Amino acid sequence: MTRDEIISKLRDIMKESTEKPVDWSTVSGESTIESLGFDSLSILDLIYDIQQEFDAEFDAEQLVSIQTVGELAEFLSSQLA
Amino acid sequence: MKKLRHLLEFALAWSGLKLIRVLPDLMITTITVLLADAYYGLARTRRQIAYRNVLESGIADNPAEASRIARHSFRHFGLVVIESLTSSRYLTEETWQDHVHLDLDAESERWIREDGRGVILASGHLGNWEIAAQVVSYLKPVSGITRVMNNPYVEQLVQRHKPRNRFTLTPKRDANSARFLEAIRDGKILAFMIDQFAHDRGMMIDFFGRPASTHTAIALLHLVSGTPLIFGYSRRIAPRQFEFKAFPPIRIERSGDKQRDLRSILDALTRYLEEAIRESPEQYLWAHRRWRVPAQSSRH
């Protein structure tokens, strides 16, 4: 799966998970996860959804420093490789 | 006006702490019980909340027993505060085992003692939760979350007097998933209280047969990180003597349905809490409004 494909899939997952109205067509790798309506606690919901959707088992602790959609995509890309 | 009230409260707290330092334990305990009884008599609303909670939980089967448990619960809370401020007199790295009896499930004990292994510890407002955190911090560093007092002067004073050992507290406003995950990554025990009202962000979980809004973060953390999740608590068995008990780790059959899995985990934790409360009902904080109805529940 390419980085762009991962970002596209992430966009779909985030759309389902967030309650904030977001113009998803403008969301790119540089968008911060916080700006998409994920606060300090709802981010756990997002991590769960990502693990389920990507069928990926990874240590959630590794996500501590991730801030943007692009960083998340790169992390997932490394996990899925 | 608010500042004046805060300063007056600070003066009272400061004098109280000075007294605690010079008075013998027995006298401190007696004064605490008298003050708790006086508060029980005066604080009508709190008293009624506690009484009703005991009765409606089925813990007491008659009004007289419910009153007795509610009154003792007030005394107990007073003692929790005093013990938390004075425990450094007798709970040290060298002496804590003379004052604490450990009753740990074998598997939970292995997780708690394993170096570098993060553990999520769930507990409730039962027994002395401050002592519980201190005790486990002798086994592994503990990271907890605290509600900061409204009075900043008293807050500072109390924090200065609380023994910490390897027990660090994060104010509730600064608590976030990154900090939780960091604590797990660093091999700490991440401690949560599971019986706090979660407003409209919680999941309604039956607690003594009545739905109570319950925070889901602890269950989500367990699901996403696979970190062992253990329920434990400490109760007073005699003056300066405590028991710390840890139940077997929570295990659920994962369904892949997030809401269902969260509910299974929170149900299991709540059953452990109920079991622990039934063992020492006088040591539970019954005056807490645990069954408030959230404005709008998001996770039924």
Nearest chain B Cα distance for residue A66, angstroms: 9
Q: Which residue of B has its CA nearest to A49?
A: B258
Q: What's the pLDDT at B94? A: 92
Tokens describing residue B194: 């599971």
Chain B residue with Cα closest to A44 = B220
A-B C-beta contacts closer than 8 Å: 46
CA B300 – CA B297 distance, rounded (Å) = 6
The structural domains of chain A, ordered by start, are 3-15+29-80 (1.10.1200.10)
pLDDT at site B259 = 95
Residue B206 has pLDDT above 90, yes or no: yes
Q: In B, which residues are within 8 Å of A41 by CB distance?
A: 176-177, 201, 217
Residue of A nearest to B186 (CA): A61
**How far apart, in whole angstroms, are the C-alpha atoms of residue B85 and residue B11?**
17
pLDDT at B164: 64
* Chain B residues lying within 8 Å of A51, measured CB to CB: 224
* CA–CA distance, B224 with B120 (Å, rounded to integer): 12
Contact A44 B182 (CB under 8 A): no
pLDDT digits (tens, 9 = 90+) for A30-81: 999 989 998 877 889 999 999 999 988 787 888 878 889 999 999 999 888 7
Residue of A nearest to B179 (CA): A64
A59:B225 CB<8 A? yes
**What band does B165 get if pLDDT is binned at 50, 70 and 90?**
low
pLDDT band for position B204 (cuts 50, 70, 90): very high
Asked whether residue B87 carries a pLDDT value surpassing 80, the answer given is yes
**Which residue ranges make up each domain of chain B?**
2-283
Whether residue A44 and residue B221 make contact (CB cut-off 8 A), yes or no, is: yes
* DSSP, res A68: B
From chain B, pick out residues whose CB is under 8 angstroms from the CB of A47. Answer: 177, 220, 224
- pLDDT confidence of residue B249: 98
Q: Taking residues B173-183, what's their average pLDDT? A: 84
Nearest to A41 among B177, B223, B256 (CB): B177
Residue-wise pLDDT tens digits, B23-41: 998 999 999 999 999 999 9
The pLDDT value given to residue B89: 85
On average, the pLDDT of chain B sits at 92
At B32-79, the pLDDT tens digits run 999 999 999 999 999 999 999 999 999 999 999 999 999 999 999 999
Q: Which of B177, B185, B224 sits opposite A40 (nearest CB)?
A: B177
Name the pLDDT band for B299 (thresholds 50, 70, 90). Answer: low
Share of chain B above pLDDT 70, in %: 96
* Helix, strand, coil share of chain A (percent; to 5): 60, 0, 35
Query: Which residues in chain B have their CB less than 8 angstroms from residue A61's CB?
Result: 118, 181-182, 184-185, 225
**What confidence tens digit (pLDDT) does each residue in A18-32 have?**
888 999 989 999 999
* B293, two tokens: 């109805």
Instruction: Say whether pLDDT at B262 is over 60.
Output: yes
* Chain B: residue whose CA lies nearest to A65: B178
Let me know if B257 is exposed, middle or buried by CB neighbors in 10 A (0-12, 13-18, 19+): exposed
pLDDT of residue B173: 75
Tell me the nearest-neighbour CA distance from B297 into chain A, angstroms.
Answer: 15
Q: How confident is the model at residue B84 (pLDDT cuts 50, 70, 90)?
A: confident
* Amino acid in the structure at residue A39: D
Q: Select the more confidently predicted residue: B118 or B86.
A: B118
Does the pLDDT of residue B211 top 60, yes or no? yes
Q: Using an 8 Å Cβ cutoff, are B199 and B291 in contact? A: no
pLDDT score recorded for residue B177: 86
Is the distance from CB of B104 to CB of B246 less than 8 angstroms?
A: yes
The ipTM is: 0.85
